A and B are shown apart, each in its own frame.
Chain A
Amino acid sequence: MTTPLFSVEGVNVALPDPNHKSLLGTMPMVEILHDIDLEIEEGSVVGLVGESGSGKSTLGRTLVRLLEPAAGTIRFLDTDISHLDEQAMRPFRRDLQVIFQDPLSALNPRHTIASIIGRPLMLHGLAQNRRAARRLAQEALERVGLPTAFAARYPHELSGGQRQRVGIARAIATQPRFVLADEVVSGLDVSSQAQILTLLDQLKTDLKLTVVFISHDLSVVRRLCDRVVVLRRGEILENRPTAELFEAPAHAYTAELKAAIPLPEVDQGWLASQ
């Protein structure tokens, strides 16, 4: 057996509790994730689904160590990265890319799209100078279906779905080994969506890219993911191959999710139905 890209064992994550005022020095915490065990094979696409607020984004952010686990271990290949500080994480950053759920807040409003995508490339030594960075940025824009002329624009000059695709372009431009994609196609029309899904599929086949794909769109998850992990209230409820999960959901909650998917067929009684 090959080493998984990620192995997560017994991870708990706690965050500050807004219900309590912080008393000098001691910040009361609430546990958001509880006892998470998870292995992610290199070159696989893992869907992460579940109720809003169940902890999907928190789990994703912990994997790439934007958050630190309170207990348990996270291994990236052979390295235990559970408690590495920012400095020690730096060599991994190029390989661990994140596409955030809120595209506008994740893009620096004062930078052009060219520099938003290009800067990290210079930082990681993938482009020697600005011109090279700009060219790579334009290539990345093309791959996500945006005109290269957008390189000169600022984030606020784009539509929601266009910004979302800039986030995708920035993440794939560094040719990472891993991408956390947090709700990345929900703001896209189905045609742009198809293009992005095809792109992710290609990167997976050509570069063995590994993806954790957080999404509420189960039709897309079914299409794209090799496995699906269902989270509920900070715990893993199911973790199974996609086809199996959809054909025979082991859990009532998973079945409930499936039943609530609106199919594109006119049905006035659907809203009232259970």
Chain B
Amino acid sequence: MMADAFLDIADLSIVLRSDRAHRLLRSVDLHVNPGEVRGLVGESGAGKSMIGKTIFDILPRAVEAVEGAVTLGGTDLLALSSNARRREIAAAAALIPQDPLTALNPVRRIEGQITDRLTAILGFSKKAARDRALTLLEEVHINDPERVLRSYPHQLSGGMRQRVLIAAAFAAEPKLIVADEPTTALDVTVQKQILRLIAEMQAHHGTALLFVTHDLGVVAKICQNVTVLFGGKVVEDTDVKGLFAHPAHPYTAALINATPRYDRPDQSLLPVPADVIEATRAEIAKADAEWLSQRGQTLKAAS
């Protein structure tokens, strides 16, 4: 375990319950220090959201963690009972989930959905919680916070819903925030303001931030370190300068080359080449074969 990491994921594997040889995460190592921003990038379906779901104990029923450790501020979460674990997480960490509309309760006004955390976790009075919610909404650059508090989720635009979730995550001043593509629905000016706000928060509270994104531009501007995931396996773990200057894995290099830039409109847009994908898949198959040969019998016995 990393000495000063606040979030420390070590050797984490999760599998399908119906086919325990099928791993969705493959011996993943990932850690985030207090005050650090770590980017988590990789192809769609690579398992980025599964990492967040494992930390917050909200994995779909069809999958389960079969080995590895998730340590939060020194506490091994996977060793706790489900209740103790949820309490521990609620006090220390917040998730900004990927799908804002489904993360919000459709038949409840926004107000309660932000203030719940304040009254339940920080012991705010109702009035104080409302005031704090208004301030938070202003901080995420919502122009008419009063209206937003009174609205139902469907009455807000996509980007407003996303900012409501960002505000709710900040509300309880967590030590870790896992942000799963939190700015996809924000225009670039608002995005920049929000990213600045996150940086300020971190400076004040030493928050550790795991930032899932497809936008390598955002990675370049806010992350210190980056984990690249492919097919549930970490293919690269590096500091941000190294990522762009000398990507170690061919998949990472291809990803950077495929990034469109408005200042180079004529550069042709090429997906990651098939041979890079093939080679990376082969690498994974090899790791899987080794993993299975060590555990095949126990895996079968458990199912």
Interface set of A (CB-CB < 8 Å, partner B): 15-19, 49-53, 56-57, 101-105, 156-162, 164-165, 182-183, 186-195, 197-198, 216-220, 222-223, 243, 246, 256-258, 260-267, 270-272
Contacts and interface: CB of A to CB of B under 8 A. Distances in A.
22 contacts: A15-B155, A18-B147, A51-B187, A53-B157, A104-B99, A105-B99, A158-B45, A161-B214, A186-B184, A190-B255, A192-B44, A193-B214, A216-B159, A219-B262, A223-B265, A223-B269, A243-B265, A257-B189, A261-B217, A262-B192, A262-B217, A271-B221
A222 B219 contact: no
Given A187-B181, A194-B269, 12 more contacts: A19-B146, A102-B100, A187-B214, A193-B260, A194-B260, A216-B185, A217-B215, A218-B262, A257-B187, A260-B191, A265-B220, A265-B244
A219 B181 contact: no
A187 B41 CA distance: 12
B185 A52 contact: yes
Contact of A261 (B48, B49, B155, B188): B188
A216 B186 CA distance: 7
A53 B159 contact: yes
A160 B98 contact: yes
B62 A264 contact: no
Given A190-B259, A191-B258, A271-B199, A105 B244 contact: no
A225 to B, nearest CB: 11
A16 to B, nearest CB: 8
A189 B101 contact: no
Give the one of B180, B184, B222, B256 with max A CB within 10 A: B184
Nearest to B60: A156
Contacts of B256: 264
Contact of B255 (A189, A246, A263, A267): A189
A151 to B, nearest CB: 16
Nearest to B217: A262
Nearest to A192: B44
Given A263-B261, A264-B219, A191 B191 contact: no
B195 interface: yes
A260 B187 CA distance: 9
Contacts of A223: 260, 265, 269
B150 A220 contact: no
A198 B219 CA distance: 25
Interface in B170-197: 180-181, 184-192, 195-196
Given A189-B44, A191-B258, A271-B199, A222 B265 contact: yes
A224 B28 CA distance: 36
Nearest to A49: B187
Contacts of B155: 15-16, 18
B152 A18 contact: yes
Contacts of A222: 260, 262, 265
B169 interface: no
A147 to B, nearest CB: 10
A50 B100 CA distance: 20
Task: State the 4 A-B residue pairs at the shortest beta-carbon distance, nearest first.
Answer: A52-B159, A161-B44, A262-B217, A186-B184
Given A271-B196, A271-B199, A52 B190 contact: yes
Contacts of B157: 52-53, 56-57
Contacts of A198: 269
A258 B262 contact: yes
A186 B213 CA distance: 10
B68 interface: no
B102 interface: yes
A18 B235 CA distance: 48
B160 A52 contact: yes
A267 B189 contact: no
A183 B44 CA distance: 16
Contact of B101 (A18, A104, A187, A261): A104
Contacts of B270: 194
A195 B44 CA distance: 12
A160 B217 contact: no
A183 B158 contact: yes
Give the one of A17, A49, A261 with max B CB within 10 A: A261
B234 to A, nearest CB: 16
B241 interface: yes
B147 A19 contact: yes
A101 B188 contact: no
Interface in B200-259: 214-222, 240-241, 244, 254-256, 258-259
